[in-house]
Structure 1
Amino acid sequence: MTEWALRIASVAVAIALLCNGWRLFRGPTPGDRIIAIDTMVINVIALIVLIGMLGGNTTYFEAALLLAMVGFVSTIAYCKFILRGDIVE
């Protein structure tokens, strides 16, 4: 029963990724695109964790943690670039 719930959750996260991709390419402002990328990172983290739970492999959880750290830093860098036009001052 748990395996079915994980598979349904994986499909739901994949659909959310498709919706985020649509917002990324269709977004009218750079802010919309940055939020879409950040949300895509969160959904990819969720998908990696779900795959790790389905496979029973703990390596996926470490990969999700690394992606979370990189995703946070990249979102801050994108926002800083949009606001100031330069990342490093």
Structure 2
Amino acid sequence: MNHVYLIGQVIMSLALVLAFVRVVRGPSLPDRVVALELFTTTIVGMVGLHAIKSGVPSFLDAAIVIALMGFLAAIGFARFLERGGPRDD
């Protein structure tokens, strides 16, 4: 059973690295926003996997908080982009 958790952690770590590369090299701001959302989702998955592995249900509360913060950040970025994005005043 530990092999399943290890494989899950490795795959999610690889997803974090790839999302970070997209955040750094993203050609546009919306690409970076989507990559940050993927980053948050992957972290929630890692925390959830750790909660299952350790048997501590409090980690699921932390995962819910992280997911809500990521959702609110995505809404904030969407509103920012809707109102015209960065200005060169």
Indicate the SS of the match to 2:63.
helix
In the alignment, structure 1 residue 42 sits paired with structure 2 residue 45? no
CA drift of 1:55 comes to: 1.2
* In 2, Cα distance between equivalents of 1:41 and 1:67: 7
Which residue does the alignment assign to 1:9? 8
The one-letter amino acid paired with 1:70 is: M
Gapped regions of structure 2 (runs ≥ 5): none
Gapped regions of structure 1 (runs ≥ 5): none
Percent of pairs identical after alignment? 26
Aligned ranges 1:50-69 → 2 under 5 Å = 50-69=49-68
* In 2, Cα distance between equivalents of 1:21 and 1:66: 21
Which residue does the alignment assign to 1:83? 82
**Cα-to-partner distance string for 1:46-85 (whole Å, 9 max, x where unaligned):** 0001111111111110100111111111101011112215
* In 2, Cα distance between equivalents of 1:67 and 1:4: 26
After TM superposition, what 4+ stretches of structure 1 lie above 4 angstroms from structure 2?
A: none
* In 2, Cα distance between equivalents of 1:58 and 1:85: 42
